[in-house]
Amino acid sequence: MDTGELSRYGRIVQQLIGAGTRAEAQQAVDRLVADQAWDVCGALLIASAELGGRILVARLLEAGVYAPLALGAAMRRQHKRQEVVTKRVAMSRRVFRDIDTETDDKGVPDYIQAELDDLAATAEEARDAADRREADRDADPVRALIVNELAGKMLKSDAAMDAMVSIVHASAFEDTRRAAALKLVTHPNALKRLAAAERTDDLVAVANAARLDSAGVTVATLLTPHVESLLASRSILALRLLAKHHPDPGLREQANAGLK
């Protein structure tokens, strides 16, 4: 995307990221689709408010354009209400002041004040750690919508399946990677289509992201015709999968030997 294109859609950016009404968001998405501005759609799907994101998802699905959807599922963060966090470390310094003194002298010894400051700093660190854990559990409804909707398109569309596979590979969020992998694993013939195309790396990525023994067994079995090439190329992830999940003990032993 060049700066001229960004400038051309400047008002649309503002509307979809949060300044527009539903009608304005709908009109903005209509223009993007009419212009086939798919790169802009992908960028906006990452940053837009949930309303604009849902409208974008629906229109991209109608147009059969799946790459921007994969981008959104890979990079979109959960949009949360901004909160102002006030650090309270300094508050402890006023709590124990001597209210009867006309000067601003401390009412407690320095060593007690130091302990109070340490406790306040520890509490602040604990809040920061909790914030990081919450970010790790980021669960965005638009990402979930994209995965669910793409699953319905995979039966007839290889492009939709490719978008789902790219989500498994690239999504920054474990919940989204696993959801996409489970859609592929439970799809009637997605894994067989990947196997027929000899997309071994994709199969392994799907099995690992799904985190199910049954998925591991299924994929390991599909990899059977490719064992020799995987051994020759020392494909570590594939060999680990075969060593752990393949139903044939002899083949498991081969894979283990290839890992040494």
5 CB neighbour count, 10 Å cutoff: 13
105 Rama class: left (phi>0) / alpha (psi -120 to 50) / beta: beta
Give, in degrees to the nearest 5, the angle at Cα 28 between 25 and 32. Answer: 140
18 Rama class: left (phi>0) / alpha (psi -120 to 50) / beta: left
Q: Kindly state whether residue 230 falls inside one of the protein's structural domains.
A: no
Q: Kindly state whether residue 237 falls inside one of the protein's structural domains.
A: no
CB half-sphere exposure, 163, CA atoms < 13 A: 28
Q: How many structural domains is the chain composed of? A: 1
Q: Kindly state whether residue 125 falls inside one of the protein's structural domains.
A: yes
The pLDDT of 137-147, averaged and rounded, is 88
Q: Kindly state whether residue 121 falls inside one of the protein's structural domains.
A: yes
205 and 215 in contact (C-beta within 8 Å)?
no
Q: Kindly state whether residue 79 falls inside one of the protein's structural domains.
A: no
Does pLDDT of 165 surpass 50? yes
Domain holding 109, by residue range, is 89-136
Percent of the chain with pLDDT over 70: 83
d(CA 104, CA 93): 11
- Which residues on neighbouring strands pair with residue 106, listed in sequence order? 97
**pTM more than 0.75:** yes
42 and 71 in contact (C-beta within 8 Å)?
yes
pLDDT digits (tens, 9 = 90+) for 174-233: 999 999 999 999 998 999 999 999 999 999 999 999 999 999 999 999 999 999 999 999
What's residue 137's pLDDT?
58
Q: Kindly state whether residue 107 falls inside one of the protein's structural domains.
A: yes
The DSSP output letter for 181 is: H
Q: Kindly state whether residue 114 falls inside one of the protein's structural domains.
A: yes
Residue type, 151: A
pLDDT digits (tens, 9 = 90+) for 36-65: 999 999 999 999 999 999 999 999 999 999
What's residue 95's pLDDT?
46
